[in-house]
Every structure is written in C-alpha cells, then in structure tokens.
Amino acid sequence: MTLSIRLSAIALACTAATAFAADPIKIGVDGPFTGGSSSMGVSMRDGVRLAADEINKAGGVLGRQIQLVERDDEAKNERGAQIAQELINKEKVVAVVGYINTGVGLASERFFQEAKIPVMNNVATGSVLTHQFDSQPENYVFRNSANDSIQAPMIVEEAITRRGFKKVAILADSTNYGQLGRADLEKALELKGIKPVAVEKFNIKDVDMTAQLLKAKEAGAEVVLTYGIGPELAQIANGMTKLGWKVPMIGSWTLSMANYIDNAGPGGEGARMPQTFIQEPTTPKRQSFIISYLKTFAPKNNRMDSPVSAAQGYDSVYLLAAAIKQAGTTDGPKVKDALENLKAPVEGVVTTYNKPFSKGDHEAITANIPVFGEVKGNRVVYAYADDFKKASEVRVKDVNAKGALPTAKK
C-alpha cells in the first residue's frame, strides 16, 4: 500500500519533471522598437536574440530552451507598466531583460520587484534605476550598462580636464532621462568647481533649437554637453550649423545613435561620448559577435545602429543564463541570489564579468570600463588612439574605480 503510494508519487514526480524539462524558459524582452529610441531598442533586441539563439543551439539552459517574449514599450512609461503586468501575470516570465528609457524602467520595475522576478537592465542609464528598492531587504533590479553617475563625470572630465574648457552649456531633453542626466552633469561640474553658463531644455520632436543654442552662445559657452536622444541631438548639431556657431559637443552615450549620426551629417562629426563597446574586432569574442551580428541582421553599411545596445543586450542574456544555470532553477529569488554571487566568470562582449554583482551592488559596469568614442566618417570610432591600442586588454570591473558620482540613496 505505502509502496504503491510511494511508487505513484515517484511516477508523478517523474512526469512532472519531464514536463518541466520540455517547457521553455520564458524571458521577457522590453524596449522601444518604434519611435525615436528605436535604434537602441531594436539593436538591443537583436543582441538579445543572437545570444538566446547561440545558447539554444548549444543545448539551452538546464536542458531547456530559452523563449523570448518581446514587447514594444514605444518609450512610453505607461506602456511599460502595462507590459510589466502582462509579462508577469499572463506570460509568466522567469526574468526580463531590456529597458532603454529610464522613465519606462522606473515605471515598470516595481511590478517585477513585487513579483520577485529579476530584471536585467541592459541599456537605460538613469542612476536611480538600481536604487529604487534600496530600502527593501531584496532588490531584483540589476544593470549591465554604464549608468549616469559614471557617464556624467566622464563627460565632465573630458570637457574640463582633458580639453580644458572653462565655460560649459548643458542642453538636455525634458524626459526623465534628460533631466536626471542634467542633474548628474551639474553635480559632476560642481565637484570641479564649475557652474554651467547655460542650462537649457528641449522637448522630444522639437524641430528648432535656435533659442537654446543662442542662449548658450550668448553666455559664451566653449562646449555643449548634451543629454538627449538621437533625433533631437541631430537638431542641435544642425542648429549649430545654421547659426554658424561651432563648438564641440560632448554628451551621454546616445550621441553614438545612428539616427544622430545620419541626421546630423557633416555637422555631427567630432561629437564625443562614453561607450562601453565600439564596433571594432579588438578581442576574439568581440570579433565573433560583430561577424554573427552583421551576418544575421545585415544592418545598413555594415554599421550597427547602436553597437552599445547590441553588445549590452547580448551580454545581459548570458549573465542571466549563467545565473539560472548556477541556481539550477528558474525560481526568481534563487536566480537573484545566484546573480549576486556568480561563481564562474562570464565572458561577454563588453567585458569579462567576474563576480559582476553583489548583495549591495547591482551595477556590472564601473567607471574604469567605458572609453570615449567619437563620430568620424559616419561611424563611431575610438576617440583616443591609446584606448584603441589597449582595447584588446579587456577592462574588468573594479569596485574601487574612481570617477563615479556617489549615488544618492533613494
């Protein structure tokens, strides 16, 4: 009697296990695949697809295939919140990768936090993103992009220390991204004892930047620091051409977006921005990534629309897969614990992730990793020859790296 119960229990467990093994692992992919941010969103998605495909071809994770559930948030905060609930309640995803727009990330994360589902933020850079839940015992939000508290001081360092400009103007868009970035830029400038001579704002879809640029020009700015996305950044460059006022543009990594480079044309050359990845085959891993990306998605002129997004998207899936493998389960809290204590290093495109996260540190990228890129001949190249020469030495995470702003606890 007991034996038969025990046997049937074992049989049940076996069938459950086999059904379990056949089930794919569902991972949500959220990003803007339409609109002004789409070059980042689509490149990120393509990077994610490439990684998932490679993992599946190699047998999947825990013997299960990865299934991507892709959703377009249109860069709208409220859309992101809806998608988060759909991914949790309807699709029952194990984890989610993505988020390009800081505002969308902020609006969506709390649903995953409540549902105990890990979020791997692979593009959005708002400093506050990984600190929304600092007050709670567990934080499910991770990031493998260079956040604004790293980027803003890098931009300031480049403008003030390396190139010796004294008078700076800040032009930022009116979204969460632009305004949080502007605040970080002002903080970083303050540390250098500099107050910007002009701080101007513009809206998404603005077609004329005359007023903003004239204010910067009148204030005697020698350099314009930007925080915005491609199309409007291009209008800034075009506006400078129109006013016949040409000063260097240094800004957040979005100056590498294809829709900035294409729409600004010759006026956009020379713009510099921090980059975690530049489309150059400097390591074998990067080379194979670039080759298979170009082969699979065939972007125009063999130029990735947003190389940084593609590389970070690719790496985010590998980080997650490593954590699921280590946890031996897709259970949210256990995957989170595994991410916080990854034992084996993960070789990615951006860097080799050796213990990228810990309990109190959910940022995989530190201030020593990004380099400066420059728009030259319609693509992004290394701004400094030294960085290019040393690019084959992969820069790994250094928690003691100097240069980042102290992140304000929320």
Partner 1 sequence: MEILTQLIFSGIALGMIYAVIAFGYQLTFATSDTLNFGQGDALMLGALVGLTLVGMGVNYWLMIPIVCVFGAIQGAVVERIGVRPAIRIKSEFGWIMSTIALGIIFKNVAENVWGHDDLKFPSPLPESPIRFLGANVLPMEILVVVGAVLMMAAVELFNRKTIWGKAVVATFNDREAARLMGINTGLVITFSYALSSMSAALAGVLIAPLTLTGATMGAVLGLKAFAVAIIGGLTSGMGIIVGGIILGIAEKLTGFYLSTGYQDVPGLVLLLIVLAVRPAGLFGKTAIKKV
Rule CB under 8 A: is residue 174 a binding residue for partner 1?
yes
Segment lying near partner 1 (by CB under 8 A), choices 19-27, 29-37, 79-87, 181-189:
29-37
Binding-residue total with partner 1 (CB under 8 A): 33
Segment lying near partner 1 (by CB under 8 A), choices 194-202, 335-343, 383-391, 396-404:
194-202
Provide DSSP, 296-327.
Answer: HH--GGG--S-HHHHHHHHHHHHHHHHHHHHH
Tell me, residue by residue from 373 to 402, as one string, x for binding to partner 1 by CB under 8 A and - for no binding.
Answer: ------------------------------
- Binding residue (CB under 8 A) for partner 1 from 183, 194, 214, 391: 214
The residue (of 29 and 365) whose beta carbon lies closer to partner 1 is: 29
Rule CB under 8 A: is residue 78 a binding residue for partner 1?
no
- Binding residue (CB under 8 A) for partner 1 from 18, 89, 210, 302: 210
Rule CB under 8 A: is residue 309 a binding residue for partner 1?
no
How far is the C-alpha of 141 from the C-alpha of 108, rounded, in Å? 11
Segment lying near partner 1 (by CB under 8 A), choices 3-11, 157-165, 201-209, 380-388:
201-209
Segment lying near partner 1 (by CB under 8 A), choices 210-218, 325-333, 354-362, 386-394:
210-218
Cα–chain center distance at 305: 14
3-state class of 187 per DSSP?
helix
Rule CB under 8 A: is residue 230 a binding residue for partner 1?
yes
How far is the C-alpha of 302 from the C-alpha of 37, rounded, in Å? 20
Measured from the CB of residue 262, what is the shortest distance to partner 1 in angstroms?
Answer: 5
Q: 160: which 2 tokens?
A: 């003030």
Residues with Cβ within 8 Å of residue 218, at least 6 apart in sequence: 198
Measured from the CB of residue 36, what is the shortest distance to partner 1 in angstroms?
Answer: 6
- Asked whether 168 and 189 are in contact (CB, 8 A), the reply is yes
Q: Which of 384, 29, 64, 375 is nearest to 234 (CA)?
A: 375
Rule CB under 8 A: is residue 203 a binding residue for partner 1?
yes
Rule CB under 8 A: is residue 183 a binding residue for partner 1?
no
- Binding residue (CB under 8 A) for partner 1 from 114, 138, 218, 398: 218
The residue (of 63 and 377) whose beta carbon lies closer to partner 1 is: 377
Residues with Cβ within 8 Å of residue 101, at least 6 apart in sequence: 32, 37, 73, 75, 77, 80, 124, 175, 176, 177
Rule CB under 8 A: is residue 234 a binding residue for partner 1?
yes
User: Residue 48: in which H helix or E strand, if any?
Assistant: helix 38-57
63: exposed, middle or buried (Cβ count in 10 Å: 0-12, 13-18, 19+): exposed
Interacting residues with partner 1 between 244 and 283 (CB under 8 A): 244, 258-259, 262-263, 265
Residues with Cβ within 8 Å of residue 353, at least 6 apart in sequence: 144, 315, 319, 342, 345, 346, 347, 364, 397
Residues that bind partner 1 (CB under 8 A): 33-36, 38-39, 174, 200-203, 205, 207-208, 210-212, 214-215, 218, 230-231, 234-235, 241-244, 258-259, 262-263, 265
